[in-house]
Structures are given as C-alpha cells and as structure tokens.
Chains A and B, each alone.
Chain A
Amino acid sequence: MSFSTMLMQLSSGMVKTTGIFFWTIILSLPLGLFVSFGRMSKNPVLKNIVKIYISLMRGTPLMLQLMMVYYFPYLLFGMNIRTFRFPAIIIGFTINYAAYFAEIFRSGIESMPVGQYEAAKLLGYSKSQTFIKIILPQVIKRILPSITNEVITLVKDTSLAFSLAYMEMFTVAKQIVAKDATFTPFIVAAVFYYVFNFVVAFVMEHFEKKLSYYR
C-alpha cells in the first residue's frame, strides 16, 4: 500500500474519531451538569442512585462499558445490533464521561463561597437566575483546567472504539499494520492524535485566557 493511500485511509478514520469526540463532548458536558445536580441532591434516593452510577462508571473499564452497551440490546431483547455500532459508542462514551464531568462540576459548584448566593438572594435573583448568571460562569472558570484534562483524555480514549470494530483511526491503523506488516501507520496515527490534542489544548488555553479578566 502506498503512503498516500494509507494517509487517505487514516484520514477517513480521523473523521470518524472526530465524530466520536464531538458527539461525546456535546452530550456528556450537559449530562454531566445534570448528574452533578443529582449527586448534590437533598433527596437521598436520587443522590445514592447517582453515587452508584458514578462509582460504576469510574470503577470499571471504559472498553468493557462500550461492549456492554453494544451487546445488551441483543442479549436482553434479541435485537439486531448491526446498525447499533455508532450509537452504542456514543452512548458508552457519553455516560462514562458524564460521570467524570459530574464530579468536576460538583467540585466547582461546592467550592463557590456562600456569600455569592447570599448576595444574589438579597438582590432578589431567583434560584435559576442565581445559578445561571452568578454561579455557573464562575464555576466554569474554576473547573476549566480539569475539563481540559478530561477532554484531552477523551481524544485518546476514542481509540477504544476499536473494541467494537468501529473504523475510527486507531482501528484502521491496526488493520493496515496487520495486513502490510509495517509500523508506519502507528507513527502516523500518533502524529494525528498529537496534533488533535495540540489544537484542543490551544483552544482550551484560549478559553482560559478569555476568562482571566477577573480573579
């Protein structure tokens, strides 16, 4: 296989990798925020359910979770899962990352000084206004470095989709390596991942700078 063919195949894998990445980010960040509300809930039932969920997501391998999400509909209901590969991957990544993001949101929300809530209350802000206008913007600034960490990990974790034989970049690279007995695709894949994360880090740093106008 020529180098350019290999690059073409890896690039089309990269498109799918990017797809997993963006879908997971778009879905897991808001889900994580809501999970963190459940985690901080005064309702003990809800709080404990969420605690167990987070514990399972963090305590078992992501690869295993992906396989479970993918095979469960077949094992439980005998459903045809051939077209379920991509949704299974997105669901698996989303519920896993939402658990991590939830804990990051919680740490940020719980670190907010009570005086901010009190000042908002005295000025008549409703609870939702207080959260959206006063608390959340400050929380985002505080947790941004931790979010960056998770996002960078996610870029690399997308390679776990190979376990469901989804043709993202790492799966493609592995196949070419096995077929052509060359190591080059792995090196190219490494460069792709690195450049991707370089861009991610650059963008996140830009956000951090934008929020550095106050302390």
Chain B
Amino acid sequence: MNILEMNHIHKSFGSLEVIKDISLSVAEGEILSIIGPSGSGKSTILRCATMLETINGGEIIYMGEKAAYTDSSGSVIYAKGDKAKKINSNFGLVFQSFNLFPHYSVMKNITDAPIHVQKRNKTDVFNQARELLEKMGLLDKADYYPCQLSGGQQQRVSIARALCMNPKILFFDEPTSALDPELTLEILKVIRDLAKEHMTMVIVTHEMNFAKEVSNRIIFMENGVIVEETTPDKMFNSNNERTKAFLGKYHNMG
C-alpha cells in the first residue's frame, strides 16, 4: 500500500511557479531520495507533503485518505479538524536547521508532544524516548539543553523527536546541509540504521553517494519538474543529458 501519494501537484509563490505538475508515491518501507540543484523545488515538494505550504492544485493522499484535493471548480480543499489531525499524525519531518525547542531539555523536546498532543501514557513515552536516545548514542544527554549540544547531536535529537511520534513516514529536508563533513557522517549513520529497520523515508539531500547507497528509488528534479525517476544504479548510469551533467559535477568534485 502506498503511504503517500501526490498527484499533479502545482505550487506557485506569487507569479513564480516552483512545482509544475509533479506526481510521486511512496510505498511502505520504501526509501525515496530527491536530488537536484538548489531552487529546483525539492524542498518545496517536501513542505507541500507536510502541509507547511498549501498547494495550488493536485491532491495529497496519506494511507488512502485525502489530505488535500482539487474540486471541480479548481480550488484546493484541505482536510480539517480531527480528520486533518489523524492524517497529519502519519508523517514527521526533520528540518535542515533542527528547530529544536531551546527552552526544553532533550528529554522534554522528545516527550512533550507524545504526552500532551497524542495523550499517550507518560511511562511508555519516556521508555520509548530513552530507547530512541540510546539508539542515537545520546542517552547521557537527556537532561541537556539544545544549546549545549553540537549540530550533529541536535539533529539526532530532532530525529528522535520525530520518531517518538511513531510516524508511518519520515521526511528529511536536507538534514546534513547545516553540518560539517564529520557531523554529516553521524546523521547518515542514523538514517542508514533506520533504513535497516525499513522505516519509510523521503530524503531531500545533496549527499549523492549517500542517496545512491541508501535509497530504493531516486528522483532528480529541476525547475519544478521531475527530470528522471529511477533506481540508484540506473540514475547514476543515466543517458539523460541533464542528469548526467548534474551528477557529473558531483563526480568531478570527488
């Protein structure tokens, strides 16, 4: 079953059309990477999928339920109230800039929403949070505040925070772009571990080799359209001129 389906998505900022009729789907357990030059719309499509931006056309479907659709008059209708809450509980997002709550300890960052939004049992949530922190190698940092942590540690906390909500799909918006190469490796290791557990993920990234290694499928985007969508092997041996040019630049860097 597809966890996420996005059909014919259109998104404009004023007169600037940044997403031009994009359709994509993500099946359970699948890892999809989205690559492409800056300004290609790859972060925007993620922000549309997570309802941080409202689409101008198309439909977004989570687990078969319509989060947004375009009616016959062409206006986009979003799910509201409890239905929206239920749909939104399907996904989590890891931001490029972490966006941890600076006034909350690591533990509270992770547990506050599961306890006060999802109204789950406190003991269960704390146990899960401890397990997650252990997985992230941060159990000893539970009582620290975000400002006392390195960027890589903060990003791992934010991944734990997203995972503690038990999402069916996790989005990563350039999770390593604010980190140096060493810290980037920390985060990529965490994502690799999640991949082993068959966590469904969509990753917008500039780490080409990582995308090649970890994904089941890669989308190459440019100027608001999908240029190519295929398996990592085929993507990196593509005959498409644009794909070759883009990936070639990365190869030349190495």
- Interface set of A (CB-CB < 8 Å, partner B): 113, 115-116, 118-125, 129, 133-134, 137-138, 141, 213-215
Contacts and interface: CB of A to CB of B under 8 A. Distances in A.
A133 B117 CA distance: 12
A134 B97 CA distance: 17
Contacts of A120: 101
B165 interface: yes
Interface residue range, chain B: 20 to 34
A119 B95 contact: yes
Interface of B: 50-52, 85, 88-89, 92-93, 95, 97, 99-103, 112-113, 116-118, 145-147, 161-162, 165
A138 B102 CA distance: 8
A124 B113 contact: yes
Contact of A215 (B85, B102, B162): B102
A133 B112 contact: yes
Contacts of B165: 123-124
Q: Interface majority SS on A: helix, strand, loop or mixed?
A: helix
B112 A118 contact: no
A115 B95 contact: yes
Nearest to B162: A122
A124 B103 contact: no
Given A115-B97, A119-B101, A129-B116, 12 more contacts: A113-B99, A116-B101, A118-B95, A122-B50, A123-B112, A124-B89, A124-B165, A125-B116, A141-B103, A214-B103, A214-B145, A215-B147
A125 B162 CA distance: 13
B88 A124 contact: yes
